[in-house]
């Protein structure tokens, strides 16, 4: 796992892992809506109110804006946010990467849902089959 030491970590917000969560992304803005397909099925490594880290099959250009769709097993509907790629790193000896994205835009309901994840460990640790007897929570 990639971990930065506390001196190098510039994050303002706590990060947390969420079991069985995935990320789909595509370029944000006009190019994203011109037929570019989502790159889906990427593992969410961790997230917080300020951003997210996830796996990706190819490098993402730092500074590029992306539209993220984060699937959380405990929620009905994905979290949709716009972010800016801050960094990427290749896994040693593999054709996979990790990327760090800073969130720059989301609607009020999405921010509320992120805050729920941050405050309530239940939503971060439960897989879909265990949440409310197999039913997703509508939040």
pLDDT score recorded for residue 135:
43
Domains and CATH numbers, the chain: 22-126 (2.40.10.220)
- Blockwise average pLDDT, block size 10, the chain, 139 residues: 45 78 88 68 92 94 94 88 95 87 94 86 55 41
Segment (H or E) for 123: helix 121-125
What are the DSSP E strand ranges found in the chain? 22-27, 39-47, 51-56, 65-71, 79-90, 97-105
**CB–CB of 51/101 below 8 Å?**
yes
- pTM for the model stands at 0.76
Cα 68 from Cα 51, distance rounded (Å): 11
């Amino acid at each position: 796992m990639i971990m930065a030491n506390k001196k190098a970590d510039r994050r303002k917000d706590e990060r947390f892992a969420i079991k069985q969560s995935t990320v789909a992304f595509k370029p944000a803005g006009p190019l994203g809506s011109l037929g570019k397909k989502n790159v889906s099925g990427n593992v969410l490594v961790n997230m917080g109110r300020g951003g997210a880290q996830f796996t990706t099959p190819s490098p993402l250009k730092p500074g590029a804006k992306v539209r993220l769709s984060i699937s959380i097993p405990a929620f009905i509907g994905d979290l949709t946010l716009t972010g800016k790629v801050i960094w990427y790193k290749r896994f040693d000896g593999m054709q996979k990467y990790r990327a760090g994205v800073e969130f720059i835009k989301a609607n009020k309901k999405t921010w509320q849902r992120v805050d729920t994840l941050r405050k309530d460990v239940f939503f971060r640790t439960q897989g879909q089959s265990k949440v409310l007897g197999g039913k997703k929570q509508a939040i």
